[in-house]
Structure 1
Amino acid sequence: MIKYIYLLFTAVIFAIYYIFFLPPLFSETLTLFFKVIPMICFIVFVALTDRGSNDAYKKWLLIGLIFCTIGDVTLRWFIFGLSSFLIGHIFYIIAFLQIKKVPTPKTATLLLLLFGIVICGWVVGNIIKSGDLLLSVAVITYIAIILTMAWASFQTASLTVIFGALFFLLSDSILALNRFVTDIHYSSFLIMSTYYTAQILFTISVSKHFANRKKMLE
């Protein structure tokens, strides 16, 4: 991790710039450029970590990061962007199952289920009122997948992974509420700060995974 720490430092700097200091009059292309730089740093960091390894956790999480980056770029076409993030979450689920250590606690399962019911009823209820049934189905599917991703994260017994998944769930929930229910003050800050936090935690988890594996082999 220390070897490539400059990539994480670069990601944090650009994330802070994008969230707090990016001029509002920038072109859409330039805005997207600054938005994905942190993600590119995360992808390169994971790719370089234990380079040459065919480790399943690293491979699937890396693919998840790539699809989330595609989602960042294409979210202006909402369904396409949503589909990219959905695929990314599926790969995160696969990654987490590679390092499964414990069953998901029943309390966590119940709380995630209750949260899903509330957020789904709130968000999808508003979409159905608009008459867009296709979008309703897409959002229901997405909510189910991201809740499954959060549920699977608990099976890793890694606080880094669990908090990453919960931050991602929070980010997407704020985005959905802001887009379909009501305007949320400082929504852009809340969405992107929790999103980047989730992705950097997932990225760090790869380095921690290899460190733990080496300790076990010593």
Structure 2
Amino acid sequence: MHAESKAATPRAWIGAIAFCAALAIVGAYVAPWLHYVFKPLTTLLIAAMVWRHGGVAEPGYRRSVLAGLLLSTCGDAFLMLPGDWFVFGLGSFLCAHIAYLLGLFGRARPFAVKWPFLAYAALAAAVLCVLWPHLPGELRIPVIVYVVVLAAMAAQAAAVWRRWPVRATAMAALGGAFFVASDATLAIDRFAAPFEAASLAVLATYWIAQTLIGLSVRSLEREQPVRPE
């Protein structure tokens, strides 16, 4: 009975996260106050899930993910404020990805598997080629730095998964991929080709990414294989 209750716990959190995310997305289209309330709340709920159920198998990784989620909450707030706070949001998410990257370095050395870095480098270059003609001059360097760090985080997550192929690392790898998809969609909508469904696509993939990264911490309670050398 205790094991069943424990297994059900993340489903309850995921349900609450999905509910808040849905309200935030609806709010982005029809009720701004819903968006303002539930956008940061959704990310904070993911952080609360990690705090409550993250376990102690890898405290350094757990701290890195919590730091990344709290920095992401700051980014959420900056990107929804009236006025142009884009650079502040970009900086917050840049720091979040650095936090995730540091946590992932604790699971496997950098470049432990090289092909994910080559794949994400090619994808990052393709996205930058699309964005480049549309980026304001003052944003070009910050965007390049952000794209490089985001791609490195996603690539390291995939490399960790290849070196240590368990459910926890697979979740982090998928989370990194969804984060790249979300941010690429956001950038294309903002700078190159705006489209009506952008908020839905960006926010849905963003919270899938954050939830998967959050769950990659909790999963280590049950899966503790020997680390590869």
Query: TM-score if structure 1 supplies the norm length?
Result: 0.86
Q: Which of residues 91, 94, 116 is equivalent to 1:108?
A: 116
Change (3 A) 1:8 1:134: same
* CA deviation string 1:6-42 (max 9, x = no partner): 22221111112322x33745345x4221112221111
Q: Which of residues 21, 34, 39 is equivalent to 2:38?
A: 34
Matched, 1:99 2:110: no
For 2:109 and 2:9, the matched residues in 1 are separated by 28
For 1:3 and 1:164, the matched residues in 2 are separated by 21
For 1:138 and 1:103, the matched residues in 2 are separated by 24
Moved more, 167-176 or 201-210: 201-210
Per the alignment, residue 67 of structure 1 pairs with 71
Per the alignment, residue 140 of structure 2 pairs with 136
Unaligned runs of 5+ in 1: none
- SS in structure 1 at match of 2:223: helix
Q: Which of residues 176, 195, 199 is equivalent to 2:187?
A: 176
Per the alignment, residue 153 of structure 1 pairs with 157
Q: Runs of 4 or more off by more than 4 Å in structure 1?
A: 50-54, 101-104
1:4–1:45 Cα contact (<8 Å) kept: no
Question: Structure 2 counterpart of 1:138, which letter?
Answer: P
Q: Which of residues 20, 27, 33 is equivalent to 1:22?
A: 27
For 1:41 and 1:107, the matched residues in 2 are separated by 34
Structure 1 residue 168: Cα displacement: 0.2
Matched, 1:120 2:131: no
Structure 1 residue 65: Cα displacement: 0.5
- SS in structure 1 at match of 2:195: coil
Unaligned runs of 5+ in 2: 1-5, 162-168
Matched, 1:83 2:87: no
- SS in structure 1 at match of 2:95: helix
Question: Structure 2 counterpart of 1:108, which letter?
Answer: P
1:102–1:156 Cα contact (<8 Å) kept: no
Per the alignment, residue 162 of structure 1 pairs with 173
2:57–2:221 Cα contact (<8 Å) kept: no
Question: Structure 2 counterpart of 1:149, which letter?
Answer: M
